[in-house]
Amino acid sequence: MTRRSTAVRLFLTMWLVYAAFATTNVARETYLAVALGERLTVRVDPYLGLHPDLFEIPGRGAYINSNPGASIFGAVPYALARPLIAGLFAMRPALGAPKPPTTYDDARPNRTPLMNEMRARGLDVRLALAALATQMGLMAPLGALAVVLLYFYLQARYGDDRWALRLALLYGLGTPIFFRSAFLNQNALLTHLILATMMVVTWPAGETARPRQQAWGWAGFLLGLGLLMDYSAAPLALVFGLWAIAEGWQQGRLRGAVALGGACVLGAIGPVCVLLGYQGLAFGTPWFPAQRYMPVTEFSVRGLNGFTVPTFDLLWRNLLDPRYGLFAFCPLLIAGLAAPFVPAIPGDPSRREQRFALLAVGALLVFSAANQFSNLQWNTGVRYLVPAVPLLFLLMVPVVRALPRWGVVGLVVPTVLVSIAVSMMREDVPTSLGLLFTGGPTLPVLITLSKTAAAYAPVLAGGVQPFGTLAVLALGGAIAMVWRFRRRASAN
């Protein structure tokens, strides 16, 4: 089988998995995606009161408390899905009609009142369909594409197709990118951009000055898109910029540093101008983010719009808290910290690549420890440190290669089990594992429907089983058919 056919099957497999594990969570980015997809406006006035991160500026309208990048990309699949959604509502007008209050069996306090507000406005089904459209049309295919590109990258570095395929699958199914790909959100999109940046900068290539300038120009463009997604890209962009300057200095002293550093900056200008243009259009000035205009909250009053000096409490919680800690959600990534102590073979990250990757992870960790809104992750799961995943994963590869088989199994099996459990149950790590082992496998949409069974799915009032197990088996059958076709084609 050729690498191309393997890549196609890998893409289909990951798209099926990510799409099957979609949720109907309506994130703040969904509202702007709907506004752009329907009316080409950045104002979200019709949805004010449906999410705590929608706010109003008197005289200017309502906006989301986030950068617009995820919504801009999400508006495309939503716009493409609008005719189908309109056709459904034409056949079933009651779906868009106001509905009486109901219950949402979930401990998180905002779920029931916000859902009932959507129902009262007749927006509940429409927004749920928008969430699924943006997930299946953007998050799932981009996640699958990231896994395929990683497969090609690892194959180019190590020259081993089987090794590259196994690692790519591990990245797609065993890291928090699986968990964060369930609905439209900027953290997963920024993660894809950081992976792409790392691949562009470190893909095996010639060492002449012109290709390196092009590589760093593309890296700057990807990092600029990262800033368009979220300001947590800033510490990562800073470290990659320093990397460009250091590499340029090594090649040609001051001239080389200016050439590569300048290429990185020039590449970022376009996306950054889009971000500044959005802020000027929305807030009247391009120079301040949305957080400056949000109403006062418990965390925004701390420091400067929620930013303080880094705190030790957030430092360790972002890493180890079972509700949202990066290493709690993906124990395998801890191995990436040992990369500098493992003897290198051809294909492994170079010492310079290791140093800057670890520096980028550290910069993001410090940034997140200073961001007091990180305290809200108990409600969402691992989030702020997810962009560090590709950096730690690439550092983890030589460590796993050097471990004995039992050590690899001891790292990989628990990690994949945790990843599947949290992506399935959408709870903290211990709770998700408990639900998986006591209640059996299922899919997130079925869990949501069971929690709102009185209004949307009476058949699930008694629980998700056996429907959950049947759905997971059907997914497994579809994936088996993708790879079964490969074996038949090879036999012929």
Q: Is residue 36 part of a domain?
A: no
- Based on the domain organization, do 304 and 392 belong to the same domain? yes
Give the confidence band of 302 by pLDDT, cuts at 50, 70, 90. Answer: low
- The answer to whether residue 73 is domain-embedded is no
What's the average model confidence in pLDDT over 338-347?
Answer: 92
- Region 199-228: mean pLDDT is 86
The answer to whether position 337 is within a domain reads yes
Residue 293's pLDDT is 85
Count Cα atoms within 13 angstroms, Cβ side, for 183.
23
pLDDT of residue 486: 52
Name the packing angle between helices 233-283 and 209-229 (round to 10°).
50
Q: What is the mean pLDDT of residues 1-18?
A: 93
Among 378, 401, 424, give the residue marking a domain's end: 401
Strands 54-57 and 61-64 come out as antiparallel
Token pair, residue 339, equals 């990369």
Ramachandran region of residue 404, left (φ > 0), alpha (ψ -120 to 50) or beta?
beta
Do 392 and 307 belong to one domain?
A: yes
Q: Do residue 317 and residue 370 come from a single domain?
A: yes
Do 307 and 379 sit in the same domain of this protein? yes
Return the percentage of the chain with pLDDT > 70, whole number. 95
Q: Tell me how far apart the alpha carbons of residues 231 and 371 are, in angstroms, rounded to a whole number.
A: 11
Q: Are residues 461 and 392 in the same domain?
A: no
Residue 476 or 484, more confident = 476
pLDDT score of 375: 86
- Does 206 have pLDDT greater than 80? no
Total residues belonging to the chain: 492
Residue ranges of alpha helices (H) inside 230-311 are 233-283
Comparing C-alpha atoms, which of 475, 489, 486, 431 is closest to residue 173?
Answer: 475
Q: Is residue 462 part of a domain?
A: yes
pLDDT of residue 485: 73
> Per-residue confidence at 209, pLDDT binned at 50, 70, 90?
very low
Q: Is the pLDDT of residue 301 over 60?
A: no
Burial 68-78 (b: 16+ CB within 10 A, else e): bbbbbbbbbbb
Question: Closest Cα to residue 74, out of 111, 11, 13, 25?
Answer: 25
Distance, in Å, from the CA atom of 286 to the CA atom of 277, rounded to the nearest integer, reads 6
Q: Is residue 83 part of a domain?
A: no
Indicate the pLDDT class of residue 488, thresholds 50, 70 and 90. very low
Q: What is the pLDDT of residue 176?
A: 97
Q: What is the pLDDT of residue 208?
A: 46
373-387 per-position pLDDT tens digit: 888 898 899 999 999
Higher-pLDDT residue of 347 and 147 is: 147
Same domain, 395 and 451: no
Which residue type occupies 135? Q
Whether residue 365 is contained in a domain is answered as yes
Rounded Cα gap, residues 445 and 460, in angstroms: 11
Q: Is 484 exposed, middle or buried (0-12, 13-18, 19+ CB in 10 A)?
A: exposed
Q: Is residue 396 domain-shared with residue 440, that is, in the same domain? A: no
Q: How far apart are CA 177 and CA 79, in angstroms?
A: 25
| Element spanning 64, H or E | strand 61-64
pLDDT value of position 303: 60
**Coil/strand/helix, residue 65:** coil
Same domain, 310 and 383: yes
Confirm if 240 and 223 have CB atoms less than 8 A apart. Answer: yes
pLDDT confidence of 207, banded at 50, 70, 90?
very low
pLDDT of 391 above 70: yes
> Of 345, 379, 401, which residue sits at a domain end?
401
Virtual CA dihedral for 133, 136, 142, 146, nearest 10 degrees? Answer: 160
444 lies in the same domain as 392:
no
> How many angstroms separate the CA atoms of 326 and 329, rounded?
5
Q: What pLDDT is attached to residue 210?
A: 56
Question: Quick one: pLDDT band at residue 297, thresholds 50, 70, 90?
Answer: low
User: How far apart are alpha carbons 35 and 41 in whole angstroms?
Assistant: 6
Where in the sequence is the domain holding 342, given as residue range(s)? 296-401
Number of domains in the chain: 2
Task: Answer whether residue 334 is part of any domain.
Answer: yes
Residue 490 pLDDT > 60: no
Q: Please write the tens of the pLDDT for every residue from 394-422.
A: 999 999 999 999 999 999 999 999 999 99
Q: What digits encode the pLDDT tens for the residues 75-128?
A: 999 999 999 999 999 999 999 999 999 999 888 888 899 999 999 999 999 999
Return the pLDDT at 491: 43
**CA geometry: angle at 183 spanning 177 and 185, to 5°?**
75
pLDDT above 90 for 341: yes
Domain stop point among 352, 379, 401: 401
Q: With respect to residue 27, please indicate whether it lies within any of the assigned structural domains.
A: no
Q: Give the number of other Cβ atoms within 10 Å of residue 223's Cβ.
A: 29
Return the closest-CA partner of residue 263 out of 286, 285, 280, 240: 240
